[in-house]
Every structure is written in C-alpha cells, then in structure tokens.
C-alpha cells in the first residue's frame, strides 16, 4: 500500500489528480500572468467538494482526515500553487473557530465557509508583529456587551475577499501574548477596509492585502474562547494548518520534478538526450530522493496531528511534527524548483515554461505560517530527547 494510504485515500488522490490535470493545469500560467484571483477555481473546488474537504461533515464540510486534506492540496499544487492556496487558506480561516468556537459559533460560521459560499481569512500579522506575534498592536476594548477593535493587519491571504475573518487583537496590551484575544469579524461590516493589495513574486493569483479595522464593533459572542486565549488559539491553529503548507510545497516540488524529468527525455545536446548524461541523472535522483523523504515526513506528520483532532491543546509531538513537515517540504520545494530551472537551462528562465513560476511559488512556503527560522525555533523547543 503506497505510503500507507487507505483505498479511499488513494481513490480520492486519483480523483483530485485528474481534476488538477484537466481543469486546473490549463489555467495555471494565466492565473500567474494576470495576478487575478481565480474565482473559477473556487467554483471548481466547491463543485467537487474540495473547498471544505477537511472540515467536519456535520458542519457542511467533507469530513476528511488531515492526510486526505493534504493529498488534495498536494495534487492541486503540483500544477498550480495559487489554486492550492484557495483550499489551504479556507482551512486556515476556519481552524480557529473549529478549535475554539462554541457549538453556536461553529454552527453560525462554519457551514458557509465549508461550502465556499464565503471565503475566510486568518488575520494575525501586523506591520510590527510578524514572527513575533506577541507584538500585536491591534487592540479590542470592551464597550458594554461589545468590543471595539482598532488596528492594522498586513499580508492577509484573502484580505478584501473574505467575509469571515478571525482577527487577533490585544485585550490587555501590557500582558504580551497572554493579552491577545481572537474575534470573528465580518469582512463587510462598517470599519473594516482594505488597504494595499500586494504585488508578489509568486502565488500571484492569491490576494494578499492589508486590512484596516477602525472602530469595528463586534458583539461579545464573537470572542473565541476567553479573553487572553488568542495566542494559544493561533498557535494551535498553525499546528493543524502547517501540514497543509507542507503539502503545497511538496506538490510544487513534485510538479517541478515532473516538468524537468520530461524535458530532459526529449531535449538533445551533444548528440543525445540530456537525460542520458550521468550528471543530469544524479540531479534528478537527488530531487526524487528529497521529495520522497519529505513526503514520508509529511504523511507521518498528518497522521500525528490528526490524532489531536480539533483539541485546544497540542502535545509537543504534534507541534514538532507539524513544524518539521513544513520546514522540510518547503526547503525541498525551494531546492527542487531551483534545480528544475537549472535542468531546463534558458527555457527554465522564461515564462513559456512552468519551471520559473514553480520556483517563484516555492519561495513563499519557506515564509508564511511562520518562517523556516521560526519552524526551527519551534522544533527545538519541542524536541523529544527522552528516547
């Protein structure tokens, strides 16, 4: 049984693989070139039950385990990283509610996100609080039964498109991370506005924007968990979503290997196909090996993280595996896509071939949901030296 996948998981993987080849791949270069958010891909994923595939069935999702969710992201990323981010970002925006929401909050907000009727977003990063989320300046002040939120978030995936946004804001500014709280905010409510929409190196069809919150009033029942739980909720969320970014990275790497392997079979120099030169074979062998090692770590991590379900507490094993998978798969994606460009020579560097897009797309996987330096800090702090 390849990678220990169940029969059901393998059938699902084949279904997504075909869909990606037939319906996503033909759009990938255009999405990258125009930089426009691909609503047709949202529709495609809604029609095929992929947009909320990892969300609970009773809330309108696909009820898939984390590994199955990762298979979906991986297969789509293999041909188009931007499109795979639609699935991963939807999961990220829903996760704080799935982890910390009351049954009423879940029933109110998850079904529309799980069906794709509304896009979601996770708004943690700020101009002065990136890797150090404890520096959060956005604040929420209690006013009677409501909270008034003020502040600015940057680099928010789906910013300006998402109607369900989980916003992290300090309710006790002198308490650092222990003063951060999480709120569910409606993207269309008064006081929420979109600032700069970023122009990016890669994942160019994904919308990344600044969001301003000016005297945004939310009812008390929009608070997730208790006041001060926000940082914990954010970290638990990332424990459960980093495997999705690892899957995106792995898919990009596999796509780059597919492209470069095919290229060297037919491109001839010095009287023979490039693939007949040992130096080229060695590069491809290394790429394949790095991908296989990354895939095994990711699938193992998905299994470990799945055991934690949507609990509000993660074991150090869950946190460590999640970070290790993201670190390894994204470093592999960067290495393999760079080598793919090299294997295509000048053709790797021009936009008529997908290798350069894959290399640009790979870079973000080393940066978002915590940079890879941050993953190393997380892994070190959760190391298991008992054995």
Active site residue ranges = 369
Interface of this chain with ligand FAD, residues 25 to 84, rule: CB under 6 A = none
Task: Please choose, out of 117-125, 144-152, 314-322, 334-342, the segment that lies near ligand FAD by the rule CB under 6 A.
Answer: 117-125
Residue with smaller CB distance to ligand FAD, 264 or 324:
324
**In the bound complex, what is the minimum distance in angstroms from residue 341's beta carbon to ligand FAD?**
21
380 scored as a contact of ligand FAD (CB under 6 A) = no
Which residue of this chain has its Cβ atom nearest to ligand FAD in the complex?
Answer: 130
Write the DSSP string, 28-93. HHHHHHH----HHHHHHHHHTT-TTTTS-GGGTS----HHHHHHHHHHHHTT-HHHHHHHHHHHHH
Residue with smaller CB distance to ligand FAD, 47 or 132:
132
Nearby residues of 156 by Cβ (< 8 Å), 6 or more positions away? 121, 122, 123, 125, 162, 165, 208, 209, 210, 211
Task: Please choose, out of 37-45, 65-73, 116-124, 279-287, the segment that lies near ligand FAD by the rule CB under 6 A.
Answer: 116-124
- Out of 35, 111, 130, 134, the residue judged to bind ligand FAD by CB under 6 A: 130
β-strand partners of 1: none
156 scored as a contact of ligand FAD (CB under 6 A) = yes
Residue with smaller CB distance to ligand FAD, 31 or 283:
31
193-222 footprint of ligand FAD as x/- string (CB under 6 A): -------x-------x--------------
Provide the token pair at 87: 């699935």
| Residue 298 parent element (H or E) | helix 278-307
Query: Residue 74 in contact with residue 90, Cβ under 8 Å?
Result: no
371 scored as a contact of ligand FAD (CB under 6 A) = yes
| Residue 209 parent element (H or E) | strand 208-219
Provide the token pair at 352: 């008529």
Question: How would you classify residue 174: left for phi > 0, otherwise alpha for psi between -120 and 50, otherwise beta?
Answer: alpha
**In the bound complex, what is the minimum distance in angstroms from residue 203's beta carbon to ligand FAD?**
6
368 scored as a contact of ligand FAD (CB under 6 A) = yes
Binding site for ligand FAD (CB under 6 A): 121-125, 130-131, 155-157, 200, 208, 364, 367-371, 373-374
């Amino acid at each position: 049984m390849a990678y220990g996948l169940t029969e059901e998981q393998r059938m699902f993987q084949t279904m997504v693989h075909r869909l990606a080849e037939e319906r996503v791949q033909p759009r990938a270069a255009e999405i990258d070139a125009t930089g426009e958010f691909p609503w047709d891909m949202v529709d495609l994923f809604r029609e095929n039950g992929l947009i909320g595939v990892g969300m609970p069935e009773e809330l309108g999702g696909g009820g898939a385990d984390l590994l199955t969710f990762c298979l979906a992201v991986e297969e789509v990323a293999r041909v188009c990283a931007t499109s795979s981010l639609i699935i991963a970002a939807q999961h990220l925006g829903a996760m704080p509610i799935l982890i910390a929401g009351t049954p009423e909050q879940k029933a109110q907000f998850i079904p529309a996100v799980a069906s794709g009727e509304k896009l979601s977003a996770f708004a943690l990063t700020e101009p002065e609080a990136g890797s150090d989320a404890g520096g959060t300046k956005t604040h929420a002040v209690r006013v009677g039964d409501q909270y008034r939120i003020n502040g600015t978030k940057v680099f928010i995936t789906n910013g300006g498109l998402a109607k369900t946004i989980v916003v992290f804001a300090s309710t006790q500014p002198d308490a650092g991370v222990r003063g951060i709280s999480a709120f569910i905010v409606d993207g269309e409510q008064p006081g929420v506005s979109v600032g700069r929409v970023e122009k990016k190196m890669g994942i160019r069809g994904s919308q990344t924007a600044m969001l301003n919150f000016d005297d945004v009033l939310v009812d008390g029942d929009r608070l997730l968990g208790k006041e001060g739980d926000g940082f914990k909720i954010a970290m638990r969320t990332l424990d459960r979503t980093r495997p999705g970014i690892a899957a995106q990275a792995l898919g990009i790497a596999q796509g780059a290997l597919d492209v470069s392997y095919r290229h060297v079979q037919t491109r001839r120099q010095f009287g023979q196909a490039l693939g007949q030169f040992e130096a080229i074979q060695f590069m491809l062998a290394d790429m394949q090996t790095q991908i296989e090692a990354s895939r095994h770590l990711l699938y193992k991590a998905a299994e470990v993280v799945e055991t934690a379900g949507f609990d509000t507490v993660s074991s150090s094993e869950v946190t460590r595996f999640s970070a290790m998978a993201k670190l390894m798969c994204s470093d592999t994606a960067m290495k393999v896509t760079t080598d793919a460009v090299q294997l295509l020579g000048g053709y790797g560097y021009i936009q008529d071939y997908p290798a350069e897009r894959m290399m640009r797309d790979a870079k973000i996987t080393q940066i978002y949901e915590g940079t890879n330096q941050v993953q190393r800090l997380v892994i070190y702090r959760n190391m298991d030296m008992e054995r």
